[in-house]
A = this chain, B = another copy of it.
Amino acid sequence: MRTHQVVSAWLEQELAAGRLHIGSRLPGERTMAERLGISRASVREGTRVLEALGVVRAGVGSGPQAGTVITGNPSLALDSALRLHVASAHLRVKDIVETRLLLETWAAAHASPGSPSLERAARLLDEMDRCDDGPAGFLQRDALFHVALAEAAGNVLVGAMMGSLRGSIEDYTQRLTARLPEWGATSQRLRREHRAILDAVLEGRGEHAAELVQDHIEGFYRESGIHSEG
């Protein structure tokens, strides 16, 4: 086992044993190095990995917010991994869009009508009705709306994946939007569809909501000129 991996191995043990949990502070790097019998450089490499995986957050200074703290942020790992793998052309945008569609229809079908995420989703829709800062602001709230919807299904993993997928294709979406002939008409349609989706979920008609989501997403891509970029 490589030296820096003793850090994640140790952390996994501590978590499993219940001695550490989300919110706990890790010992200082120097302490940890001595305790694990490795150098501080190796501790740091291990910590960087944990940070990249969204398991930990490092902060300088002193006080309660400082030091290395255990977080639970799986989307961080997905975010950067997706970015780089898309850049290396190992992942195609088509796959990501496809996966997003898959996750999102499932989430719509399984969303719990009573989830507080739905209230956040509703507020986002209100903001989108009022907002006049152009497509950029609209799309940002649009993305958050879809993520909120995914979280309403109560599956942390699906929620995290959705968030990262949205992020990784955000540039792509922005470019697609630029091709739209009439933003005004499109945004009005999108808002109408959002309301319909949210209503279906709130009424517990999951399957119907899933169909609406599918039409909503596919319609957007169709209107803006289909996956012509790899």
Contact = CB atoms under 8 A, between A and B. Distances in A.
Interface of A: 4, 8, 11-12, 15-16, 21-22, 41, 44-46, 48-55, 70, 72, 74, 77-78, 80-85, 87-92, 95-96, 98-99, 102-103, 106, 155-158, 161
B52 A88 contact: no
B11 A84 contact: yes
A169 B106 CA distance: 21
Where chain A touches its partner, the secondary structure class is: helix
A70 B53 contact: no
A157 B21 contact: no
Q: How many copies does the complex hold?
A: 2
A16 B87 contact: yes
A199 B205 CA distance: 34
Contacts of A45: 44-45, 48
Nearest to A102: B106
A88 B77 CA distance: 15
